[in-house]
Amino acid sequence: MAQTNGGKIVKVSVAAAQMACSWNVEENLATAERLIRSGAGQGANVILLPEMFATHFFAFMDWKAEYFKYAYPIDGNPILERMSRLARELGVVLPVNFFERANNAYYNTVMIIDADGSQLGIYRKSHIPVGPPGCFEKVYTAEGDTGFKVWKTRFGALGVGICWDQWFPEAARCMCILGADLLFYPTGIGSDCHDHWQTAMQGHAAANITPLVAANRIGRESGEFGSTTFWGRSFIAGPTGAIVAKASADKEEVITAQFDLEEIRERRANWGVFRDRRPHLYWPLLTMDGQTVQASGPARTPAERSGYCRPPCTDVIC
Protein backbone atom coordinates (compact mmCIF):
# COMPACT_ATOMS: atom_id res chain seq x y z
CA MET A 1 0.00 0.00 0.00
CA ALA A 2 1.26 3.47 -0.85
CA GLN A 3 2.68 5.62 1.94
CA THR A 4 2.71 9.40 1.93
CA ASN A 5 4.79 12.18 3.43
CA GLY A 6 3.05 15.53 3.69
CA GLY A 7 0.47 14.37 1.17
CA LYS A 8 3.14 13.28 -1.33
CA ILE A 9 3.32 9.57 -2.16
CA VAL A 10 6.81 8.27 -1.41
CA LYS A 11 6.39 4.51 -0.96
CA VAL A 12 4.67 2.53 -3.72
CA SER A 13 3.77 -1.16 -3.86
CA VAL A 14 4.00 -2.92 -7.22
CA ALA A 15 2.82 -6.35 -8.35
CA ALA A 16 3.46 -8.79 -11.18
CA ALA A 17 0.74 -11.30 -12.01
CA GLN A 18 1.44 -14.40 -14.09
CA MET A 19 -1.25 -16.57 -15.65
CA ALA A 20 -2.00 -19.15 -18.30
CA CYS A 21 -4.03 -17.94 -21.28
CA SER A 22 -6.49 -19.83 -23.50
CA TRP A 23 -8.48 -19.09 -26.66
CA ASN A 24 -11.41 -18.05 -24.45
CA VAL A 25 -11.10 -14.27 -24.13
CA GLU A 26 -13.78 -13.93 -21.47
CA GLU A 27 -12.12 -16.63 -19.39
CA ASN A 28 -8.76 -14.86 -19.66
CA LEU A 29 -10.26 -11.52 -18.67
CA ALA A 30 -11.95 -13.12 -15.66
CA THR A 31 -8.62 -14.62 -14.58
CA ALA A 32 -6.88 -11.28 -15.06
CA GLU A 33 -9.51 -9.51 -12.99
CA ARG A 34 -9.22 -12.07 -10.20
CA LEU A 35 -5.44 -11.64 -10.10
CA ILE A 36 -5.72 -7.85 -10.11
CA ARG A 37 -8.12 -8.04 -7.19
CA SER A 38 -5.69 -10.34 -5.41
CA GLY A 39 -2.83 -7.90 -5.99
CA ALA A 40 -4.92 -4.97 -4.77
CA GLY A 41 -5.87 -7.02 -1.71
CA GLN A 42 -2.16 -7.43 -0.98
CA GLY A 43 -1.75 -3.65 -1.07
CA ALA A 44 -0.35 -3.26 -4.60
CA ASN A 45 -0.80 0.16 -6.21
CA VAL A 46 0.45 -0.74 -9.71
CA ILE A 47 -0.34 -4.21 -11.06
CA LEU A 48 1.21 -5.67 -14.22
CA LEU A 49 -0.25 -8.54 -16.27
CA PRO A 50 1.59 -10.58 -18.95
CA GLU A 51 1.89 -9.69 -22.61
CA MET A 52 -1.33 -10.10 -24.65
CA PHE A 53 -3.06 -11.70 -21.64
CA ALA A 54 -6.52 -11.63 -23.22
CA THR A 55 -5.76 -14.34 -25.80
CA HIS A 56 -3.77 -17.42 -26.65
CA PHE A 57 -0.41 -16.14 -27.97
CA PHE A 58 -1.12 -16.83 -31.65
CA ALA A 59 2.06 -15.00 -32.74
CA PHE A 60 3.99 -18.08 -31.57
CA MET A 61 3.72 -21.23 -33.70
CA ASP A 62 0.93 -19.92 -35.94
CA TRP A 63 0.47 -17.89 -39.13
CA LYS A 64 -3.23 -17.48 -39.89
CA ALA A 65 -5.14 -14.46 -41.15
CA GLU A 66 -8.12 -15.27 -38.93
CA TYR A 67 -6.24 -14.13 -35.82
CA PHE A 68 -6.45 -10.49 -36.82
CA LYS A 69 -10.02 -10.62 -35.52
CA TYR A 70 -8.62 -10.42 -31.99
CA ALA A 71 -7.40 -6.85 -32.57
CA TYR A 72 -9.56 -3.96 -31.35
CA PRO A 73 -9.37 -0.21 -31.90
CA ILE A 74 -8.81 1.91 -28.82
CA ASP A 75 -12.22 3.57 -28.92
CA GLY A 76 -14.84 1.20 -27.56
CA ASN A 77 -12.22 -1.46 -26.76
CA PRO A 78 -13.96 -3.93 -24.40
CA ILE A 79 -10.68 -4.94 -22.71
CA LEU A 80 -9.75 -1.34 -21.92
CA GLU A 81 -13.26 -0.47 -20.79
CA ARG A 82 -13.33 -3.40 -18.37
CA MET A 83 -9.86 -2.66 -17.01
CA SER A 84 -10.69 1.05 -16.61
CA ARG A 85 -13.73 0.20 -14.50
CA LEU A 86 -11.64 -2.17 -12.40
CA ALA A 87 -8.83 0.36 -11.90
CA ARG A 88 -11.33 2.98 -10.77
CA GLU A 89 -13.07 0.57 -8.39
CA LEU A 90 -9.82 -0.63 -6.75
CA GLY A 91 -7.85 2.61 -6.99
CA VAL A 92 -4.91 0.95 -8.77
CA VAL A 93 -2.84 1.74 -11.86
CA LEU A 94 -2.94 -0.84 -14.65
CA PRO A 95 -0.59 -0.99 -17.68
CA VAL A 96 -2.86 -3.00 -20.01
CA ASN A 97 -1.31 -4.77 -23.01
CA PHE A 98 -3.60 -5.55 -25.96
CA PHE A 99 -3.71 -6.24 -29.70
CA GLU A 100 -4.55 -2.89 -31.34
CA ARG A 101 -6.16 -2.19 -34.71
CA ALA A 102 -5.65 1.34 -36.01
CA ASN A 103 -7.32 1.55 -39.42
CA ASN A 104 -5.21 -0.85 -41.51
CA ALA A 105 -2.32 -0.97 -39.04
CA TYR A 106 -1.93 -3.47 -36.20
CA TYR A 107 0.19 -2.98 -33.10
CA ASN A 108 1.19 -4.65 -29.85
CA THR A 109 0.11 -1.85 -27.53
CA VAL A 110 -0.10 -0.94 -23.88
CA MET A 111 -2.58 1.56 -22.44
CA ILE A 112 -1.74 3.15 -19.10
CA ILE A 113 -4.87 3.30 -16.95
CA ASP A 114 -4.59 5.54 -13.90
CA ALA A 115 -6.10 4.82 -10.49
CA ASP A 116 -9.22 6.87 -11.31
CA GLY A 117 -9.88 4.75 -14.41
CA SER A 118 -8.69 7.40 -16.87
CA GLN A 119 -6.74 6.25 -19.91
CA LEU A 120 -3.52 8.26 -20.01
CA GLY A 121 -2.15 7.13 -23.36
CA ILE A 122 -0.53 4.32 -25.32
CA TYR A 123 2.88 2.92 -26.08
CA ARG A 124 3.31 0.67 -29.14
CA LYS A 125 5.97 -2.05 -28.98
CA SER A 126 9.06 -0.76 -30.76
CA HIS A 127 11.08 -3.94 -31.29
CA ILE A 128 9.23 -6.74 -33.12
CA PRO A 129 10.97 -10.13 -33.26
CA VAL A 130 10.72 -12.82 -35.88
CA GLY A 131 12.23 -16.28 -35.60
CA PRO A 132 10.59 -19.11 -37.56
CA PRO A 133 9.50 -21.74 -36.89
CA GLY A 134 8.30 -20.33 -33.59
CA CYS A 135 7.80 -16.57 -33.72
CA PHE A 136 5.70 -14.67 -36.25
CA GLU A 137 5.12 -11.38 -34.47
CA LYS A 138 6.12 -9.36 -37.55
CA VAL A 139 3.24 -11.00 -39.40
CA TYR A 140 0.67 -9.61 -36.98
CA THR A 141 2.09 -6.31 -35.72
CA ALA A 142 4.00 -3.37 -37.14
CA GLU A 143 6.92 -1.72 -35.38
CA GLY A 144 5.63 0.86 -32.94
CA ASP A 145 5.64 4.55 -33.85
CA THR A 146 5.06 6.20 -30.47
CA GLY A 147 8.63 6.28 -29.23
CA PHE A 148 9.37 5.50 -25.60
CA LYS A 149 7.11 7.27 -23.14
CA VAL A 150 6.59 7.90 -19.44
CA TRP A 151 3.29 8.64 -17.73
CA LYS A 152 2.73 10.49 -14.47
CA THR A 153 0.22 8.43 -12.52
CA ARG A 154 -1.17 8.62 -9.01
CA PHE A 155 1.62 6.28 -7.93
CA GLY A 156 4.64 7.68 -9.70
CA ALA A 157 6.04 8.10 -13.20
CA LEU A 158 5.86 4.80 -15.09
CA GLY A 159 7.83 3.63 -18.12
CA VAL A 160 6.57 0.54 -19.95
CA GLY A 161 8.25 -1.60 -22.60
CA ILE A 162 6.80 -4.79 -24.07
CA CYS A 163 8.59 -8.15 -24.12
CA TRP A 164 11.30 -7.96 -26.84
CA ASP A 165 11.87 -4.33 -25.81
CA GLN A 166 13.31 -5.71 -22.58
CA TRP A 167 16.48 -6.88 -24.36
CA PHE A 168 17.42 -3.34 -25.40
CA PRO A 169 19.20 -1.15 -22.83
CA GLU A 170 18.47 1.89 -24.99
CA ALA A 171 14.74 1.50 -24.28
CA ALA A 172 15.17 1.39 -20.51
CA ARG A 173 17.61 4.31 -20.55
CA CYS A 174 15.28 6.44 -22.68
CA MET A 175 12.40 5.88 -20.27
CA CYS A 176 14.57 6.75 -17.28
CA ILE A 177 15.90 9.89 -18.96
CA LEU A 178 12.24 10.83 -19.44
CA GLY A 179 11.76 10.54 -15.68
CA ALA A 180 10.50 7.02 -15.00
CA ASP A 181 10.39 6.07 -11.30
CA LEU A 182 9.55 2.46 -12.17
CA LEU A 183 9.98 0.25 -15.26
CA PHE A 184 7.42 -2.37 -16.34
CA TYR A 185 7.68 -5.13 -18.96
CA PRO A 186 4.64 -7.30 -19.81
CA THR A 187 6.15 -10.45 -21.28
CA GLY A 188 5.35 -13.65 -23.14
CA ILE A 189 8.49 -15.76 -23.39
CA GLY A 190 9.49 -19.39 -23.19
CA SER A 191 12.66 -21.02 -24.48
CA ASP A 192 16.03 -21.99 -23.08
CA CYS A 193 17.35 -18.50 -22.28
CA HIS A 194 15.66 -17.74 -18.96
CA ASP A 195 18.81 -16.77 -17.07
CA HIS A 196 19.92 -14.45 -19.86
CA TRP A 197 16.43 -12.88 -20.00
CA GLN A 198 16.36 -12.15 -16.29
CA THR A 199 19.94 -10.92 -16.10
CA ALA A 200 19.43 -8.48 -18.99
CA MET A 201 16.60 -6.78 -17.12
CA GLN A 202 18.43 -6.81 -13.82
CA GLY A 203 21.10 -4.85 -15.67
CA HIS A 204 18.53 -2.25 -16.76
CA ALA A 205 17.42 -1.78 -13.14
CA ALA A 206 20.99 -1.53 -11.87
CA ALA A 207 22.31 0.77 -14.63
CA ASN A 208 19.41 3.18 -14.18
CA ILE A 209 19.01 2.72 -10.40
CA THR A 210 15.32 2.14 -11.07
CA PRO A 211 13.10 -0.75 -9.89
CA LEU A 212 11.79 -3.05 -12.63
CA VAL A 213 8.76 -5.36 -12.85
CA ALA A 214 8.42 -8.21 -15.40
CA ALA A 215 5.23 -10.29 -15.70
CA ASN A 216 5.32 -13.45 -17.86
CA ARG A 217 2.79 -16.02 -19.01
CA ILE A 218 2.76 -19.64 -17.87
CA GLY A 219 1.56 -22.88 -19.46
CA ARG A 220 1.92 -24.64 -22.78
CA GLU A 221 0.37 -23.18 -25.94
CA SER A 222 0.29 -24.95 -29.30
CA GLY A 223 -0.14 -23.93 -32.91
CA GLU A 224 0.24 -25.32 -36.41
CA PHE A 225 4.04 -25.25 -36.25
CA GLY A 226 4.63 -26.56 -32.74
CA SER A 227 4.29 -25.66 -29.06
CA THR A 228 5.74 -23.18 -26.61
CA THR A 229 6.00 -23.55 -22.85
CA PHE A 230 5.99 -20.16 -21.18
CA TRP A 231 8.33 -20.33 -18.22
CA GLY A 232 6.69 -17.88 -15.81
CA ARG A 233 9.26 -16.76 -13.21
CA SER A 234 7.90 -13.24 -13.20
CA PHE A 235 10.08 -11.06 -11.01
CA ILE A 236 10.63 -7.69 -9.42
CA ALA A 237 14.14 -6.19 -9.27
CA GLY A 238 15.17 -3.38 -6.96
CA PRO A 239 17.28 -0.33 -7.87
CA THR A 240 20.55 -2.27 -7.58
CA GLY A 241 19.25 -5.02 -9.88
CA ALA A 242 18.82 -7.50 -7.02
CA ILE A 243 15.74 -9.73 -7.21
CA VAL A 244 13.32 -8.83 -4.41
CA ALA A 245 10.41 -11.07 -5.47
CA LYS A 246 10.12 -13.95 -7.93
CA ALA A 247 7.33 -16.30 -8.98
CA SER A 248 7.49 -20.00 -9.83
CA ALA A 249 7.91 -21.47 -13.29
CA ASP A 250 4.43 -22.92 -13.67
CA LYS A 251 1.95 -21.58 -11.10
CA GLU A 252 -0.55 -18.76 -11.29
CA GLU A 253 0.79 -16.17 -8.86
CA VAL A 254 0.88 -12.54 -7.81
CA ILE A 255 4.15 -11.23 -6.37
CA THR A 256 4.61 -7.83 -4.74
CA ALA A 257 7.29 -5.46 -3.47
CA GLN A 258 7.35 -1.95 -2.05
CA PHE A 259 9.77 0.84 -2.99
CA ASP A 260 10.51 4.21 -1.45
CA LEU A 261 10.61 6.39 -4.56
CA GLU A 262 12.05 9.41 -2.76
CA GLU A 263 14.92 7.40 -1.28
CA ILE A 264 15.66 5.85 -4.67
CA ARG A 265 15.55 9.24 -6.38
CA GLU A 266 18.12 10.59 -3.92
CA ARG A 267 20.32 7.52 -4.40
CA ARG A 268 20.12 7.88 -8.19
CA ALA A 269 21.11 11.53 -8.02
CA ASN A 270 23.97 10.79 -5.62
CA TRP A 271 25.44 8.09 -7.88
CA GLY A 272 25.65 10.53 -10.78
CA VAL A 273 24.80 8.05 -13.53
CA PHE A 274 22.57 10.66 -15.18
CA ARG A 275 24.61 13.71 -14.18
CA ASP A 276 27.77 12.29 -15.80
CA ARG A 277 26.19 11.20 -19.07
CA ARG A 278 27.83 12.57 -22.26
CA PRO A 279 24.99 12.61 -24.83
CA HIS A 280 27.09 14.32 -27.50
CA LEU A 281 29.40 11.27 -27.59
CA TYR A 282 26.63 8.75 -28.16
CA TRP A 283 25.96 9.35 -31.87
CA PRO A 284 26.83 5.71 -32.77
CA LEU A 285 23.53 4.80 -31.09
CA LEU A 286 21.79 6.60 -33.96
CA THR A 287 23.40 4.24 -36.49
CA MET A 288 23.03 0.62 -37.49
CA ASP A 289 26.64 0.22 -38.63
CA GLY A 290 28.48 2.57 -36.28
CA GLN A 291 29.07 4.97 -39.17
CA THR A 292 25.95 6.32 -40.85
CA VAL A 293 23.66 8.38 -38.66
CA GLN A 294 19.95 7.96 -39.29
CA ALA A 295 18.02 10.93 -37.93
CA SER A 296 14.81 12.61 -38.98
CA GLY A 297 16.66 13.95 -42.01
CA PRO A 298 18.93 12.19 -44.53
CA ALA A 299 21.72 9.81 -43.49
CA ARG A 300 25.06 11.43 -42.69
CA THR A 301 28.51 10.05 -43.39
CA PRO A 302 31.39 10.59 -40.95
CA ALA A 303 32.71 13.36 -43.25
CA GLU A 304 29.36 15.11 -43.18
CA ARG A 305 29.33 14.81 -39.38
CA SER A 306 32.69 16.58 -38.99
CA GLY A 307 32.15 19.72 -36.99
CA TYR A 308 29.10 18.31 -35.22
CA CYS A 309 29.08 17.83 -31.47
CA ARG A 310 31.41 20.75 -30.84
CA PRO A 311 29.99 23.74 -28.98
CA PRO A 312 27.93 25.47 -29.97
CA CYS A 313 26.02 22.50 -31.40
CA THR A 314 22.34 22.59 -32.27
CA ASP A 315 22.17 19.57 -34.55
CA VAL A 316 19.23 17.20 -34.10
CA ILE A 317 21.49 14.18 -33.58
CA CYS A 318 22.84 15.63 -30.32
Question: Would you please indicate which residues are annotated as catalytic (active-site) residues?
Answer: 51, 125, 163
- How far apart CA 52 and CA 142 sit, in angstroms, is 15
Q: How far is CA 235 from CA 16, 35, 232, in A?
A: 7, 16, 9
Asked if 186 and 48 touch (Cβ cutoff 8 Å), the reply is yes
Under DSSP, the state recorded for 109 is E
Q: Are 189 and 218 in contact (CB under 8 A)?
A: no
With beta carbons less than 8 A apart as the criterion, state whether 146 and 159 touch: no
Burial group, residue 7, by CB count within 10 angstroms (0-12, 13-18, 19+): exposed
With both helix axes pointing from N to C terminus, report the angle between 169-177 and 194-208 in degrees, rounded to the nearest 10: 30
